[in-house]
Amino acid sequence: MDAIGNKSRPARVDKIGAAVPVGVAPPIAKENPMRKFVSVAGLAAMLCLAVPSGFAATPPAPKAGQATIVIVFKDGHRQTFNLSDISRVEFSAGAEAAAAGETAPANSVLPSRSRFLGKWEVGDGNGNNFFITLYDDGDARKSLGNSHGKWVYVNGEAQVTWDDGWHDAIRKIGSGYQKFAYAAGKTFTDEPDNVTSARNTAPHPI
């Protein structure tokens, strides 16, 4: 009781042991500004790390319906090109032969596949001449007998198989070329039925 007779209210003890009068609100603890700063800085750092990783992600896949070509290198990595950006694709003579499943010559002295393209004047073995034309797509034509056939480039020579079963091989012999003819049933390693000279009258793709 105080000096004038009023009953004094009992004091209560706060959490840290200090007496706080009853009816008086305890002081509100202030937020530590340093802790708030650290939280904001941490959030900003996380955002900074997330943004570059998004830019470094794999480029988006081509749109549906967009034609592309994928080159796979020997080390396994791939590179994609849009066909709309490509004007043409060029291959060396050796690469063309490999792509067609044909054997390229190991000796650089042997003629390339492109050397056989054109219209060849050859003998028929009876003193007369006729023409064999070799096309870039592997088609072959001749001006004698069954005119259609197919040819391939093997070990530096042109090997023609005609629809009637005969075979002709055009080979480089010395500084010139010769035509070796094989009857139906024979192979290019058999004894030829006749051998005549051969001359390319149009040494370029037809």
Instruction: Render each residue's pLDDT in the chain as its tens digit; 206 residues.
Output: 555 555 555 555 554 455 545 555 555 555 555 565 555 556 555 655 554 444 444 555 555 567 888 887 766 677 888 887 887 676 655 555 555 555 545 555 788 999 999 999 999 999 999 999 999 999 999 998 778 999 999 999 999 999 999 999 999 999 899 999 999 999 999 999 999 999 999 876 54
The token pair that represents 187 in the structure block: 């192979």
Residues in the chain: 206
Question: Contact 134/121 with Cβ under 8 angstroms?
Answer: no
pLDDT score, position 83: 80
| DSSP state at residue 22 | T
Distance of CA 46 to the CA centre of its chain: 38
Question: Contact 168/96 with Cβ under 8 angstroms?
Answer: no
The token pair that represents 79 in the structure block: 């590179």
| Total-model pTM | 0.49
Sequence ranges of the domains in the chain: 93-200
CA separation for the pair 120, 129 (Å, rounded): 10
* Residues 6 or more apart whose Cβ sits within 8 Å of residue 179: 120, 122, 123, 132, 168, 169, 170, 195, 196, 197, 198
pLDDT score, position 57: 46
Query: Which residue in 159, 158, 167 sits closest to 192, CA to CA?
Result: 167
SS3 call for 149: strand
- Domain 93-200: give its CATH code: 2.40.128
